Amino acid sequence: MPFASFKNIQKKNARLHRERAQPAARAKLGILPKKKDFILRSRDEESKRNRIRELKRKALTKNEDEFYFAMQNSKLTAEKGYTPLNTEKEYSEVVLKEMLTHDVSFLNRELQIEISKIADLESRLNLLPADPSVTSKRLGPKRTVFVGSVEEARVVKSSLETTVPTRVCAKLKNDELEEFMSLQENGYRELSERLDRAEKLKLAIQQRAAKYNVLVCNPSVCLACLADHFC
């Protein structure tokens, strides 16, 4: 008989170990602690004991001339412990100019990426029937129709509004139509979000460019107000 089979049979015929329950007279004290509870408690106590021993060793072997640069920036008090004294960074005029230049270049690069993605989305969604709640005014191709009267213009406008979606959707089945409409809605939603992000990027570029111009014209006034932007 292979050794593995013998071990399986031995486990199968072994007596099941059961821990005793809490006696009825001590039921008011709750559930009787099991072995796993003792293990958790003993390991926790041992880890705390080892930590206290290590802290005592560090306190006994501490060098009185020990120095860290963080000691200059913090203060020890009995009520609050270690509190920072001054966490604000001080930047020179050259460093602030360099930071603003890097910010503007990074934002310009992100704006160009967004503009290219917006152009790609517009080219893909240009011929699809749009949802007026999420589309932009500049989306969709322009179409000029010449009519002779106001009534004829109203008829042509209503026919265009009804025939464009039906002409596209008549060739699709129900499942394909639902998938098409969901893709169309997601595309216009993504386009709207990217347009908003592009506007925010333009505003951020204008703000940083204005700060850079102020720093170049009058450095003494701008150093204090620009330091908070980078801290």
- The pair phi, psi for residue 82, each rounded to 5°, is -85, 120
Residue 124 lies in a domain: yes
Residue 15 lies in a domain: no
C-alpha gyration radius of the chain: 37
Residue 26 lies in a domain: no
Residue 205 lies in a domain: yes
Q: What's residue 123's pLDDT?
A: 83
Q: What's residue 43's pLDDT?
A: 97
- Give the residue numbers spanning the domain of 177: 93-135+164-230
DSSP string of 9-40? HHHHHSPPP------GGGGGG-SPP-HHHHHH
Residue 82 lies in a domain: no
Quick one: DSSP state of residue 85? S
Q: What's residue 211's pLDDT?
A: 82
Quick one: DSSP state of residue 2? -
Residue 111 lies in a domain: yes
Tokens of 13: 């015929």
Q: What's residue 53's pLDDT?
A: 97
Residue 3 lies in a domain: no
Q: What's residue 225's pLDDT?
A: 55
Per-residue pLDDT of the chain (231 residues; tens, 9 = 90+): 566 677 777 777 777 777 778 888 988 988 888 888 999 999 999 999 999 999 999 999 988 888 887 777 788 888 888 787 766 666 677 777 778 888 888 889 999 999 999 888 888 876 454 444 444 444 456 667 777 777 777 777 776 654 444 445 555 566 777 777 788 888 888 888 999 999 999 998 998 888 888 777 765 655 555 555 554
Residue 43 lies in a domain: no
Number of structural domains the chain divides into:
1
Q: What's residue 95's pLDDT?
A: 76
208 by Cβ neighbours in 10 Å (0-12 / 13-18 / 19+) ranks as buried
